[in-house]
Amino acid sequence: SQQGEEDPQALSIQEGENATMNCSYKTSINNLQWYRQNSGRGLVHLILIRSNEREKHSGRLRVTLDTSKKSSSLLITASRAADTASYFCATEGAGSYQLTFGKGTKLSVIP
């Protein structure tokens, strides 16, 4: 079963704009990870945020985690056409090293 649910399912923005994707999950987690998937590079790890962290940055990416609401958001600033891809959140349960993926958000960045 899918643990995480991303919102929106699809997002289309102009190059240079910011893109925000949200993820909700159901059970307690050890960490939450975001992955990107496109036809050229397959599924690639973007960023990991642990359950005791609230915010994390990596380049143009900003991730927040609210464990009380069981939700996370991924912000991509100053988007580029190359950011066009599907973005998945994945949750890891305590001690399992297993990931449960959501259905993903399909992001289109228009040049």
Partner 1 sequence: EAGVAQSPRYKIIEKRQSVAFWCNPISGHATLYWYQQILGQGPKLLIQFQNNGVVDDSQLPKDRFSAERLKGVDSTLKIQPAKLEDSAVYLCASSRGSPLYNEQFFGPGTRLTVL
Binding site for partner 1 (CB under 8 A): 2, 4, 30-31, 33, 35, 42-45, 48, 88, 90, 92, 96-104
- Which residue lies nearer to partner 1 by CB, 35 or 109? 35
| CA trace torsion 89, 91, 92, 97 (10° rounding) | -40
Tokens of 66: 């609210």
Cβ 103 to partner 1 shortest distance, Å: 5
- Which residue lies nearer to partner 1 by CB, 40 or 111? 40
Cβ 53 to partner 1 shortest distance, Å: 13
Tell whether omega for the bond before 111 is within 30 degrees of 0, i.e. cis: no
Q: How far is CA 26 from CA 19, 52, 63, 98, 107, in A?
A: 24, 17, 18, 15, 24
Cβ 17 to partner 1 shortest distance, Å: 25
